[in-house]
Amino acid sequence: MREFVLAIMLITFLTGISFAAGGGDITYKVKYIGDVTFSHDSHVTGRGFTCDDCHPVIFPLPRDKEKKRTMAEMRAKKACGTCHNGKNAFDVGSNCYICHKK
């Protein structure tokens, strides 16, 4: 019994660590207009989203770093545009420089 309780505590502890870290900061290189950094911290800790709000439906894991998404896809409510649609969060059709930083 004691071993069982300790094992559960260990699992909670370990998964707790990986959840707190989430996927960290993800930087997308974008020419001319500037790079975009997605912050797990600000979405998960700051706004209370849970992992399954985004994974795996909107953003499949493991991440495919070669996969590039376009603003046209995002304006069609995919990827960041699922939420950044002017209703749930600021719209991808404007507000360029909230996301893109030189």
Q: Which residues bind ligand HEC (CB under 6 A)?
A: 19, 22-23, 26, 28, 30, 33, 36, 38-40, 42-44, 46-47, 49, 51, 53-55, 58-59, 61, 63, 68-71, 79-80, 82-84, 88-90, 92-96, 98-100
Residue nearest to ligand HEC (CB): 23
CB of 1 vs ligand HEC, minimal distance in Å: 31
Q: Give buried/exposed letters for 40-49 (b at 16+ CB in 10 A, else e).
A: beebbeeeee
In the complex with ligand HEC, the residue whose CB is nearer, 1 or 18, is 18
Contacts of residue 39, defined as CB under 8 A and 6 or more positions apart, other chains included, come to 25, 46
In the complex with ligand HEC, the residue whose CB is nearer, 6 or 21, is 21
In the complex with ligand HEC, the residue whose CB is nearer, 6 or 12, is 12
For residues 97 and 33, what is the distance between their CA atoms, to the nearest angstrom?
A: 8
The residue ranges of DSSP E strands in 1-102, in sequence order, are 25-28, 35-39, 100-101
